[in-house]
Structure 1
Amino acid sequence: MQTGLFRLLGTGPRAAARQAAALFGLAALLALVGILNDPANSRKLLVVALLDLAITLFALKWRWTRPHAPALLGVAGFVVLGLSTWSFGGVATGTGPFLVLLFAWAALHFPRWILLTYAAPATLAYLLPLVLTGQPPLVLGSAFVLMPVALAVGLLIEAQARHLRDERERLARIERWRAAMINTLAHDVRSPLGTIQIALEELREDATGLTVQILDTALRQTNRISRLADGLLDLERIDSSGHLKLDRRSYPARGLVKDALSYVRSDADVRVDIDEQTTVYVDKQRFEQVLFNLVGNALKYGKPPVVVTFVRDGDMDRLEVRDHGPGIPEELRPKLFGQFAVGGPDGVGLGLWIVRQLAVAHGGQAVAEAREPGVAMVITFPVAPLSPQG
């Protein structure tokens, strides 16, 4: 539940009413403070404070449902401003700034036609008290400066707010389309993939010689595509809920890496430099997805040999996949793990964003470090927690 200042932020009629209440509450407080500076007008200031307070309470208590209904609070504010100016004999010291504030507030929440509608009552609220108190033409003429300025400020803010709302809606449409596309892709690929996998398994039972190796490779790839489809769905859940359920266990790091590299066709260009005794506490499927993406990118964008190492650094395990290619410019490295990083000879695409999401889900991080030659993609994973007996 939002509290404090953050309850003032937002869009819609209720947010508009809360912000109006804050403005009128401030005006009431200033009127009460003014009593201390001007005791002779204490009764008038008290009346103004009570009116501002009444509008504040009404703004907070009324159940605002219609989008433009809170705009009526601005009209009430003009009435109070006019009454205040008249009560003080035509002194409009605080009227001008508050008029501008009301136009700025309205511009954040309502269309321009409401601002144009405000022009008449605002001008009347400013001019009528001056006329009734017999102010000279020079003072009356200030309305022809103040009102265009207030209206111009309001229209400028309204245009900018409208642009931001349109942009936010455009991004929301893109996000909805992206989420639908990912879900459709992940779901629709499962049915035909399952049929292919069953057919390959049937063929594998009667195969001999080289055909067995080919079918085993095809089965490994179909299994990988199936896991990738599951991964896409999991990543979509990360976007929507910020949480990915992991099945973490301790595995021999070298054997886990070797299994994952069985999906890499150019495994002859990959060297594994991991001690046999090293273990890693990860979700096996996610770890394989991380390693496959890193090695695939290293082979595609760098130069062999690609070296995979795994070492313990304090309470973190450190997976490093290094190539011996031209490297990545320093200014580009922090952007590599972005969701839509640009692919090409100097960068990679969505794969590294997936790697980063999986690393973060484990409680680690993903960074790119320069090497001479080449670049190293470094992923960290927390070590296994101590058992109760430990």
Structure 2
Amino acid sequence: MLNTPDRAHRLLLVAACDLVLALAALLIRWRPEWPNAPALLGLPSFAVLGLSTWSFGGVSTGTGPFLVLMFAWAGLHFPRWVLIGYVLPGTVAYLVPLIVTGQPEIVIGSAFILMPIALAVALLIEAQARHLREDRERLARIEQWRAALMNTLAHDVRSPLSGIRIVLDELREDATGMPATMLDMALRQTARINRLADALLDVQRIDSSGHLRLDRQEHSALELIEDALSYLRPDEEIEVEVDPALRICVDKQRFEQILLNLVTNALRYGRPPVVIRIGRDGDTDRLEVRDHGPGVPESLRATLFGQFAVGGPEGVGLGLWIVRQLARAHGGEAVAEPRDPGVAMVVTFPAGPGNP
């Protein structure tokens, strides 16, 4: 308006039209069942672009970029038939002001370059946006099925386990000697399967909210380890190096889950003996589970605790991911440290408030 004060009234009209369109886009309650309805805003927008070209006396240098921008906006949000439908009103909005203001043929002919370019840009954007939307919808469906499967599996496992546990409890009452020992082991394993079902639900809770509720209390570190190892075969080569006086502040069930995941991984992929150590370093308790196998390549160490990172024929790659999530829920961390030979899986926990 400062450059062309004689056309100020025309430019004010363009500004007013822009404002009305902006308010319409903002205030109209677009209905979800009509996802393409906002494309109707394009028709008055093209009219405003034509009015703008006429207001500037037929100078289209300021209109062309906005015309391309209109097509780009449509490509992001609407299907290709909308883009093709925009060609005619877009061409009219561009050409009519040029013809009315008596522009030379070379300027009018620029529409035959600008409009194909605007349409091509819009179609490219529409194709990419459509692929991204389809990928997002497919991932959302996969995630829904995965969550439903995990929840169903976790809940359905509990019902038969309850029946099995009742039968085992009845048999245990009259059993003595070796049968009693075997039934005790079976009862411990059914309790462990029940906790594994809880762990599946934990994975879902961690995925959906990122938080896990813990029941942290002080426990004897040695007793926690002994209780956890009672679920394993007694002939496994496992060494425990823990100060009997050490007490750590953890959620017992989650600590047991961490330890069993690490020990079974060490027995499966490493070589005995598996050494379990717990010590205190300042205000941090440090659990270390070491094997004496070939170790972990440095290229895998950074992703070792990722979800589905190192699954194989014997597992799906969730164990170490759960370990890290449970460690972080305690306020600690889980890492892999190289040893010669083998590897040490190290999990840290903040020391309890009652510890020195």
Question: By the TM > 0.5 criterion, same fold?
Answer: yes
Residue 265 of structure 1 corresponds to 233
Q: Given that residues 261 and 267 in structure 1 are in contact (C-alpha distance below 8 angstroms), is that contact kept between their aligned partners in structure 2?
A: no
Residue 210 of structure 2 corresponds to 242
Change (3 A) 1:37 1:265: farther
Secondary structure of the corresponding residue to residue 331 of structure 1: helix
Q: Does 1:57 align with 2:23?
A: yes
Kindly state the Cα deviation for residue 296 of structure 1 after the two structures are TM-superposed: 0.3
- Aligned counterparts of 2:297 and 2:172: Cα–Cα separation in 1: 47
Q: Does 1:211 align with 2:185?
A: no
Residue 196 of structure 2 corresponds to 228
Alignment partner for residue 13 of structure 2, among 47, 50, 54?
47
Q: TM-score, normalised by structure 2?
A: 0.95
Secondary structure of the corresponding residue to residue 250 of structure 1: strand
Alignment partner for residue 279 of structure 2, among 287, 299, 311?
311
The answer to which of 311-320 and 272-281 deviates more is 311-320
Kindly state the Cα deviation for residue 385 of structure 1 after the two structures are TM-superposed: 2.7
Q: TM-score, normalised by structure 1?
A: 0.87
Residue 367 of structure 1 corresponds to 335
- 1:194-231 CA deviation, whole Å, 9 max, x = no partner? 11111111111111221111111111100100111122
Q: Given that residues 309 and 321 in structure 1 are in contact (C-alpha distance below 8 angstroms), is that contact kept between their aligned partners in structure 2?
A: yes
Change (3 A) 1:267 1:143: farther
Alignment partner for residue 105 of structure 1, among 73, 83, 92?
73
Task: Give, as a single letter, the amino acid of the residue that structure 2 aligns with 1:219.
Answer: L
Residue 187 of structure 1 corresponds to 155
Secondary structure of the corresponding residue to residue 113 of structure 2: helix
Q: Given that residues 328 and 346 in structure 1 are in contact (C-alpha distance below 8 angstroms), is that contact kept between their aligned partners in structure 2?
A: no
- 1:319-341 CA deviation, whole Å, 9 max, x = no partner? 11111111111111121222212
Alignment partner for residue 140 of structure 2, among 172, 176, 180?
172
Q: Does 1:324 align with 2:288?
A: no
Residue 83 of structure 2 corresponds to 115
Change (3 A) 1:38 1:182: same
Kindly state the Cα deviation for residue 242 of structure 1 after the two structures are TM-superposed: 2.3
Count of residue pairs brought into register by the alignment: 354
Task: Give, as a single letter, the amino acid of the residue that structure 1 aligns with 2:280.
Answer: R
Q: Given that residues 274 and 291 in structure 2 are in contact (C-alpha distance below 8 angstroms), is that contact kept between their aligned partners in structure 1?
A: yes
Task: Give, as a single letter, the amino acid of the residue that structure 1 aligns with 2:149.
Answer: M
Task: Give, as a single letter, the amino acid of the residue that structure 2 aligns with 1:48.
Answer: V
Residue 219 of structure 2 corresponds to 251
- Aligned counterparts of 2:37 and 2:2: Cα–Cα separation in 1: 36
Q: Given that residues 359 and 365 in structure 1 are in contact (C-alpha distance below 8 angstroms), is that contact kept between their aligned partners in structure 2?
A: yes
Stretches of structure 1 that go unaligned for 5 or more consecutive residues are 1-34
Q: Does 1:382 align with 2:355?
A: no
Same amino acid, percent of matched pairs: 69
Alignment partner for residue 148 of structure 1, among 106, 109, 116?
116
Query: RMSD value over aligned CA atoms?
Result: 1.9
Residue 24 of structure 1 corresponds to none
Stretches of structure 2 that go unaligned for 5 or more consecutive residues are none
Change (3 A) 1:282 1:343: same
